[in-house]
Amino acid sequence: MWNEFKQFAVKGNVMDLAVGVIIGAAFGKIVSSLVDNIIMPIIGLIVGKGHIDFTKLAFGNIKYGLFIQNVVDFFIIAFSIFIVIKFLNRFKKKEEQEEAVVEEVPDRTEVLLAEIRDLLKEDKEILRKSETS
């Protein structure tokens, strides 16, 4: 059982997941900083205030402003990630198209084998014609 656990824990899937979580956390900090320090101040300038901050809105102990701020942050973060993923997918598609173009070019061995095949077919046809004559 211990060996099975070691194989599972060291397998590529678990390691990839761990790396993904770590990078995701770091990326989350970058996106949060982007939202807090760049996007929200720009929205504040567009709306006419220096910085939009819903967190101070409350009705007694019910802090609905904090909820509104988290919803706004979520949509901005989701949109930012969407843009990044869309950009990366576009780059990935270009790489796949370049690979497809490279794969279509036959290699020299294939060309030579095709020529040999064609010559053998011609020789067969010549032999058939000489046998029927």
pLDDT tens digits along 18-58:
778 888 888 888 888 887 788 878 878 887 766 677 778 88
Backbone φ, ψ for residue 62 (5° rounding): -85, 110
- Residues 90, 96: Cα–Cα separation, whole Å: 10
Confidence of residue 117 (pLDDT cuts 50, 70, 90): very high
Confidence at residue 11, expressed as pLDDT on a 0 to 100 scale? 67
At 4 the three-state DSSP class reads helix
Integer Cα distance of 82 and 100 in angstroms: 26
Q: How far is CA 25 from CA 20, 21, 68, 107, in A?
A: 8, 6, 23, 45
pLDDT tens-digit readout, 54-107: 778 888 888 888 888 888 888 887 887 788 788 888 877 877 777 666 666 778
Residue with the bigger pLDDT between 107 and 8: it is 107
